[in-house]
Chain A
């Protein structure tokens, strides 16, 4: 079998493996919805102020809420498969529409965070590992230890106090200044200025994580046989470090970046609600406040599917980065 077709088979296999996980998450979502007190009809009746029991029973029949549980589950599965995530009674809009409206802002924040965290994490880990047990290593380790222990929302608030309120360098909240009607590059620049503080806040924790991981990974690789071989060949230490060791040390960092996407989405709920960044996290925060469970579950479902998708992509990228990985 040729290499290309083996790779396609591997991708297909990974896709198939992802299906049961997504299905399980959808079913979990359904039961969480059942667990909650009251159903959509109670919410509607509450909104309307008064509703007769007959009217509520009629509504339940209309939404299929009087059906036995397995039937309801089947209907729910069918709806999710058709991207129908229910209706948000607070926003008076379908949940899926609301979510897709906000997806872009969250993606923007997440991509910039991953770039910043992985980039600087690799750099700091490299600096720490090359200067093992020197002051550089100590400073970086202490920095990682402290950021590891700091609550994200507090960092965000402190950054606002220092850089927005006292220094006035960056705006306190939002994604862009609508009042200025910026267009073209001005608008891009405006969004970038709004992005600085949320991105730094969200990346700090992961920065610490990747720094530690990169340092450990570099040290582990430095003890491998191929390093001794390279040294015996007379390759310079500099070249060993930056060409041989660095490449191999990067692999676990790439995997970790994929694994951490789920945590990153959780972190974005906090960071977005601190900075009023109009993404999914902010939407979740609003849903929480208005007890809009349908919306909250929709966000949960989408973020879980996002994690599955990202892990799939990381696995595929990984298998082409490291040819030793069994693809057949």
Chain B
């Protein structure tokens, strides 16, 4: 069966994909529907949802909550994808080297990942962003730094189990270079678990980003959902909508990504499906 047919058997995953598509479109067309700067004063402050032309209300500075959510979608998805990409790239390189060569590289990597497993990762991310000053780059780096060890461990395990397999020995016999064996022969064979862990990592990255922004460590020039909630928390008593709607946006996005990730997992590892 094709990948898509297997994926479509999981109805939750299809629904997740549809929601994710909608959010992605919302993020990319934010400029079209809400051309004004989401930080700018758009009308009467503290308007409840549906009043004064605000679909989801406005905050104490008259900023449009709906506009913030639309622009924030771009931020969340962008940071989630970028951070995951960096983490997967670093993790694959480290894991492949350690699993393939073994020896001191492997030892070093295992010690490093052990240390990363001990360090409270969210506090580490906070520290990194605080030290590098909040910006898109520093947030992406911080999330990638705390996320790559999981990928590295996974890839190392796959490479370790494959490096002595017959097809790899055959490659050695015909004189293929190590680089080529790693990239062209072994890597394609362990891509599916990497794709699965990567898709789930996007969700975690979005959660970390929103947490950082909530604590005031977001990029100050870019609207994000975590920032909206952080800015609206003092208004809980008088304007519940400022915090509520961006939170629902995070919840739906992360949920959708998790569903898609599970769908990919089902489609790529049909054997595992019966277990759960």
CB distance from A207 to the nearest CB of B (A): 16
Given A150-B251, A263-B122, A270:B131 Cβ within 8 A? no
* Interface: A165 (CB within 8 A): yes
Q: Name the A residues within 8 Å of B122 (CB-CB).
A: 263, 265-267, 269-270
* Interface: A234 (CB within 8 A): no
Interface size class of B (residues with CB under 8 A): 35 or more
Given A21-B115, A157-B236, A161-B236, A273:B215 Cβ within 8 A? yes
Q: Name the A residues within 8 Å of B226 (CB-CB).
A: 151, 153
* Interface: B191 (CB within 8 A): no
CB distance from A298 to the nearest CB of B (A): 11
| A46–B85 CA distance with the chains assembled, in angstroms | 40
What string of 1s and 0s marks CB contacts (under 8 Å) between A14-29 and chain B? 0000001100110010
Given A148-B258, A158-B247, A297:B119 Cβ within 8 A? no
Stretch at the interface among A64-72, A187-195, A282-290: A282-290
Given A149-B255, A160-B236, A307-B118, A288:B130 Cβ within 8 A? yes
| A285–B203 CA distance with the chains assembled, in angstroms | 24
What string of 1s and 0s marks CB contacts (under 8 Å) between B221-234 and chain A? 00000100110010
* Interface: A81 (CB within 8 A): no
Q: Name the A residues within 8 Å of B233 (CB-CB).
A: 157, 274
Decide if B211 touches A153 in the complex (CB within 8 Å): yes
Stretch at the interface among B35-43, B178-186, B237-245: B237-245
| A303–B120 CA distance with the chains assembled, in angstroms | 7
Q: Which of A15-67 contact B (CB under 8 A)?
A: 20-21, 24-25, 28, 32, 35-37
* A interface: dominant SS: helix
Decide if A151 touches B237 in the complex (CB within 8 Å): no
Given A150-B251, A161-B236, A216-B276, A24:B115 Cβ within 8 A? yes
Decide if A262 touches B130 in the complex (CB within 8 Å): no
Q: In the complex, which residue of chain A has the Cβ closest to the Cβ of B246?
A: A154
Decide if B237 touches A304 in the complex (CB within 8 Å): no
Q: Please pick, from A154, A220, A304, the residue contacting B250 in the complex, using a CB distance under 8 A.
A: A154
| A182–B120 CA distance with the chains assembled, in angstroms | 35
What string of 1s and 0s marks CB contacts (under 8 Å) between B121-136 and chain A? 1111011101111000
Q: Please pick, from B117, B121, B126, B133, the residue contacting A284 in the complex, using a CB distance under 8 A.
A: B126
* Interface: B88 (CB within 8 A): no
Decide if B119 touches A304 in the complex (CB within 8 Å): yes
* Interface: B58 (CB within 8 A): no
* Interface: A140 (CB within 8 A): no
Decide if B258 touches A32 in the complex (CB within 8 Å): no
Q: Name the A residues within 8 Å of B119 (CB-CB).
A: 25, 28, 262, 300, 304, 307
Decide if B117 touches A259 in the complex (CB within 8 Å): yes
CB distance from A197 to the nearest CB of B (A): 13
Decide if B130 touches A149 in the complex (CB within 8 Å): no
Q: Please pick, from B118, B131, B203, the residue contacting A262 in the complex, using a CB distance under 8 A.
A: B118
Q: Name the A residues within 8 Å of B237 (CB-CB).
A: 165
Q: Please pick, from B121, B203, B243, B255, the residue contacting A154 in the complex, using a CB distance under 8 A.
A: B243
Q: Name the B residues within 8 Å of A37 (CB-CB).
A: 133
What string of 1s and 0s marks CB contacts (under 8 Å) between B207-219 and chain A? 1001100111100
| A152–B251 CA distance with the chains assembled, in angstroms | 10
* Interface: A200 (CB within 8 A): no
Given A262-B117, A262-B121, A154:B126 Cβ within 8 A? no
What string of 1s and 0s marks CB contacts (under 8 Å) between B74-102 and chain A? 00000000000000000000000000000
Given A153-B229, A157-B236, A293-B131, A311:B118 Cβ within 8 A? yes
- Interface positions of A (Cβ within 8 A of B): 20-21, 24-25, 28, 32, 35-37, 145-146, 148-154, 157-158, 160-161, 165, 216, 219-220, 259, 262-263, 265-267, 269-270, 273-274, 284-285, 288-289, 291, 293, 296-297, 299-300, 303-304, 307-308, 311
- Interface positions of B (Cβ within 8 A of A): 111, 114-115, 117-124, 126-128, 130-133, 203, 207, 210-211, 214-217, 226, 229-230, 233, 236-237, 240, 243-244, 247, 250-251, 254-255, 258-259, 275-276
